[in-house]
Amino acid sequence: MSGTSSRPVEKSGVFKLGGELPIHRLGYGAMQLTGPGIWGPPKDRAEAVRVLRRAVELGVDFIDTADSYGPYVSEELIAEALHPYAKGLVIATKAGLVRTGPNQWHPVGAPKYLRQEVEMSLRRLKLERIDLFQLHRIDPKVPVEESLGELKALQKEGKLRHIGLSEVSVEDIQRARKVVDVVSVQNRYNLTDRVHENVLAYCEKEQLGFIPWFPLATGGLAKPGGALDAAARKHQASPAQIALAWLLARSPVMLPIPGTSSVKHLEENLAGAELSLGKDELAAVDAQASGH
């Protein structure tokens, strides 16, 4: 893609978490820095460290992770690569999913467990306060009021700045907001998977950040002759860059966090912030994706 700058992420615009904490809208998701099945250490630790440092060089000031990525590996890598942190760098983490092996995830929302994980995340990340702490999943066995009540207590103690949710419905968010001030929602969302369209609409109305995970899934949309392929060829861009540009254009509260364990892919993804798609192009990609 031509015309790339040294800090392309700055072209993605700014969103204020909780109305007061500014971040660039294109961030980095640190899940893929771990081993296969989001389990264990990365195959190439030095490259993982390079990816994190390069992301910040390219303008990323919002990094999303979780205690369960590894588990713990992703948070440890972030501290190793980036501490002491650059001014304005926001690190978001999560707890509420326990790992028993590769690709295995089990919700646990017990207050004592969440408190323990917050304390451990603070230690691993070498932080005194976590800027955004997200409940990774609502535990069906624990009333969400209890889980979030503990996070609210930790917030009052000065250990958490803002609180967010992950994989929730509009009803879940409304229930949660009776307990804590929710600033963000992280749900699966991409061009071909828009089951959470109503959640996005709610977040837009309420000015909550919407963090789409798995943002680059394009399915068969990138095949030759399709709208994604046409837009990519016109802009000399990759289908992933087009998908990111579409997400950024989709809503002002959208905060995509594409993840990768490769510096080359990172640079390619983040250059997508500089792409500006015309209304007709956006509509064509949208129409093709809707019919997918």
- Amino acid identity at 253: V
**CA 214 – CA 87 distance, rounded (Å):** 28
- The one catalytic residue among 69, 72, 189, 202: 69
Indicate the angle between helix axes 279-290 and 227-234, nearest 10 degrees: 150
Question: Which residue, among 30, 140, 17, 148, has the nearest Cα to 81 in the 3D structure?
Answer: 30
**What class, spelled out in words, does domain 11-214 have in CATH?**
alpha beta
Q: What is the pLDDT of residue 2?
A: 45
Contact yes or no for 263/47 (Cβ under 8 A):
yes
Active site residue 69: yes
Give the pTM: 0.95
pLDDT, residue 230, reads 83
| pLDDT value of residue 4 | 58
Average pLDDT per consecutive 10 residues, the chain (292 residues; last block may be shorter): 75 98 98 97 98 98 98 98 98 98 97 98 98 98 98 98 98 98 96 93 98 82 77 89 93 97 96 92 83 60
Give the Cα separation of 159 and 146 in Å (integer).
Answer: 18
Measured at the CA of 91, the angle between CA 207 and CA 62, to 5 degrees, comes to 60
By three-state DSSP, how is residue 262 classified? coil
Give the pLDDT of residue 216. Answer: 79
Whether the Cβ atoms of residue 108 and residue 139 lie closer than 8 Å to each other: yes
Is the Cβ–Cβ distance between 266 and 54 less than 8 Å? yes
Token duo for residue 203: 């977040």
Contact at 8 Å (CB) between 256 and 244? yes
